[in-house]
Amino acid sequence: MNMVNLKINNIDVSVPAGSTILQAAKAANINIPTLCYLKEINEIGACRICVVEVKGARSLVAACVYPVNEGMEVFTASPRVMKARRMTLELLLSNHNRRCLSCVRSGSCELQALCNEYGVENDGKYDGAKTESEIDASAAHMYRDNSKCILCRRCVAVCEKNQAVSVIGSNERGFATHIGSPFEALLDETSCVSCGQCIVNCPTGALSEKDSTEAVWAALTDDSKHVIVQTAPAVRTAIGEEFGNPIGTDCEGKMVAALRRLGFDGVYDTDIAADLTIIEEANELVERIQNGGKLPMITSCSPGWIKFCEYNFPDLLDNLSTCKSPQQMFGALAKTWYAQKKGINPKDIFVVSAMPCTAKKFEMGRDNEAAAGMPDIDAVITTRELARMIKRAGISFNELADEKFDMPLGASTGAGTIFGATGGVMEAALRTAVETITGKPLENLEFTEVRGMEGMKEASYTVGGLTVKVAVVSGLANAKELMKKVREGKADYHFIEVMACPGGCINGGGQPIQPASVRNFEDIRAKRASVLYNIDKNMPLRKSHENPVLKEAYDEYFEKPGSHKAHEALHTTYVKRSRFGTL
């Protein structure tokens, strides 16, 4: 490998040829601030916060895009650099909504942090005209407030490059430039899939999920309601970050304890519904393979992916598993079997979902998601919203002793837990499908070929004399490429797992915000996923079909996997969509 030698702040640094000054500085443990830069996604040098001084150069250069060369001398904190960064921040503030105290991103806003670091006062030094804007709250899952936008274009880049959705961009020019949809359409008039990746990559409060906490607080104080909460596996891997814990801290026990102190009548685990999904999905896969059904079968757990498929691949909807997602299955289970077991009228049960996913806010309102004649789910809050509730309630999260989920809906297996990481649904399904086909217990439960944060993985397994070919993709841009091959008959698979968000639910649009300085240089997804695999490894039961509570639920209510009763409650339908409505 060719190496380049240079000096940064008079320190000798050697980095691979082709590195940028930003990367070289990081290698020397020198942090250069950025606002627009996202590694391999948004490398445009637009915000000018990362400018540095290069000896011999006339102008300051953007460190995020400027390549190193042999003998270069760089200064990252000279008076000239500091003055330029401070002025840039002051100019950004001059066109910015500065109501920071009430902003949902106060404390996690990258602009706010930089202004504090550089001593930039909120004094209106360059005040004048402001770009006109209106809040777009048309979508089910989020709002956009361009009065807080700094035109970094991170949201645009992520929507296009990671997700291949491309429903937002820069409209107009000059001072009137703003982020919007084509022809100034509202977000719910576009093919937005509600994934929320724009939110977690936004440096300010310009984008945020719609807050549902007030509805939850109201339910908790309503004595006529039996209020229960389910938490997705990915929430326990990340909620600790909201309370200062390192990325990759398992906070399941503290999360359960906090939820109980919020006043829920039952604190349950979405993992039981993930196990239920696997039982139904594996049964569906085996039936399709053995009876000549539509293949490849494609998972249906990710609502962002489902909506993307409905918009972009309506001809492949028959390939989707008809199983509801674990969130919706939990609600169906709660308002049918659980209600019957507890002797509670389903209309009096209020089901709250704590999810890593903003698309779940859209999913709860879909058609055919009402097993008991009423919506399966009553409110969805993200990991961030749950953290805000815990903080508002004055609960000392880090001081809590670990507590366990309530029964019966707190019972789960390791297979349900790994749902939160890309490849997890596939691995869980294989554990059950293989035993269903062979009738023999699996000796090795790890299907390592489908693990990892790569955007595309494939594997084949010989099961009972049959070769089963599988693929796993995360990130909708990757899904789009694979679906094109399926459409063209070039993808020879039996089973495909798709997750809308890169890395899966652990990197969902509702997860804690991490600044670009962390996202660009740490593998957040792998650290969060490791929590789930460690939990799985230490679980006494690791196969979904071994869940004892679900065996009871089938005996008492659903009869058997794939039964008519199971289909009525646990399966759903899809629609062909266009920008102009369903087709």
User: Does any domain span residue 92?
Assistant: no
Most confident of 124-138, 374-388, 463-477: 374-388
> Residue 474's pLDDT is what?
97
Burial of 197 (0-12, 13-18, 19+ CB in 10 A): buried
Residue 415 counted as domain residue? yes
Q: State whether residue 105 is helix, strand or coil.
A: coil
Q: How far apart are CA 547 and CA 272, in angstroms?
A: 8
Mean pLDDT, residues 55-81 taken together: 96
Is position 93 within any domain?
no
**Are 8 and 61 spatial neighbours (Cβ–Cβ below 8 Å)?**
no
Q: Band of the pLDDT at 401, cuts 50, 70, 90?
A: very high
**Beta-strand pair 51-54/61-62:** antiparallel
Query: Would you place residue 134 in the very low, low, confident or very high pLDDT band (cuts 50, 70, 90)?
Result: very high
Q: DSSP 3-state assignment of 286?
A: helix
Let me know whether 22 and 108 are in one domain.
no
Q: Which pLDDT score, from 0 to 100, does residue 154 have?
A: 97
CATH number at residue 175: 3.30.70.20
Q: Provide the domain limits for residue 28.
A: 3-77
Flag whether pLDDT at 570 surpasses 60.
Answer: yes
pTM higher than 0.85 for the full model? yes
* 185 and 113 housed in the same domain: yes
Looking at the structure, tell me whether residues 217 and 203 fall in a common domain. Answer: no
Whether 91 is in a domain gets the answer: no
Q: What pLDDT, on the 0 to 100 scale, is given for residue 581?
A: 54
Where does a domain end: 175, 207, 239?
A: 207
Nearest to 105 by CA among 187, 211, 240, 181: 211
**Quick one: 471 and 532 in the same domain?**
yes
| Residue 205 near residue 103 (C-beta atoms within 8 A) | yes
Q: How confident is the model at residue 579 (pLDDT cuts 50, 70, 90)?
A: low
Nearest CA to 342 out of 416, 266, 446 is that of 266
Same-domain pairing of 474 and 434: yes
| Interaxial angle between packed helices 303-312 and 476-487, expressed in degrees from 0 to 180 and rounded to the nearest 10 | 50
Q: Which of 139, 254, 270 is nearest to 196 (CA)?
A: 139
In a domain, 82, yes or no: no
pLDDT at 464 over 80: no
| Residue 387 pLDDT exceeds 70 | yes
Q: What would the mean pLDDT of 323-331 be, rounded to a whole number?
A: 97
In a domain, 268, yes or no: yes
Nearest of 86, 146, 150 to residue 121 by alpha carbon: 86
CA pair distance 524, 534, nearest whole angstrom: 16
What pLDDT, on the 0 to 100 scale, is given for residue 113?
A: 96
pLDDT band at 580 (very low <50, low <70, confident <90, very high): low
Flag whether 95 is in a domain. no
One domain for residues 60 and 165:
no
For the chain, give the mean pLDDT: 95
* 157 and 294 fall within a common domain: no
Residue 512's nearest CA partner among 240, 188, 233, 168 is: 240
Q: Are 9 and 75 in contact (CB under 8 A)?
A: yes
Contact 520, 40 (CB under 8 A): no
Domain final position from 207, 231, 259: 207
Q: What is the 3-state secondary structure (H, E, C) of 463-491?
A: ECCEEEEEEEEECHHHHHHHHHHHHCCCC
Percent of the chain with pLDDT over 90: 92
My answer on whether 128 and 61 are in the same domain is: no
121 or 32, which is more confident?
Answer: 32
Asked if residue 290 has pLDDT above 90, the reply is: no
CATH code of 34's domain = 3.10.20.740
Domain boundary among 62, 77, 92: 77
| 74 φψ region: left (φ > 0), alpha (ψ -120 to 50), beta (else) | beta
Entry field: residues in the chain: 583
pLDDT at residue 204 in the model: 98
Average pLDDT over residues 304-318: 97
Residue 370 lies in a domain: yes
**Each residue's pLDDT tens digit, 188-233:** 999 999 999 999 999 999 999 999 999 999 999 999 999 999 999 9
pLDDT, residue 439, reads 85
Based on the fold, state whether residues 180 and 251 are members of the same structural domain.
no
pLDDT of residue 121: 85
Domain count, the chain: 3
Give the C-alpha separation, 273 to 223, whole Å.
27
pLDDT at 582: 54
Indicate whether 299 and 152 sit together in one domain: no
Nearest to 367 by CA among 320, 328, 330, 309: 328
Both structure tokens of 330? 């939990």
| Residues 62 and 126 grouped into a single domain | no
On whether both 303 and 437 belong to a single domain, the answer is yes
Is the pLDDT reported for residue 418 higher than 90? yes
CATH number at residue 428: 3.40.50.1780
pLDDT at 518 (0 to 100): 95
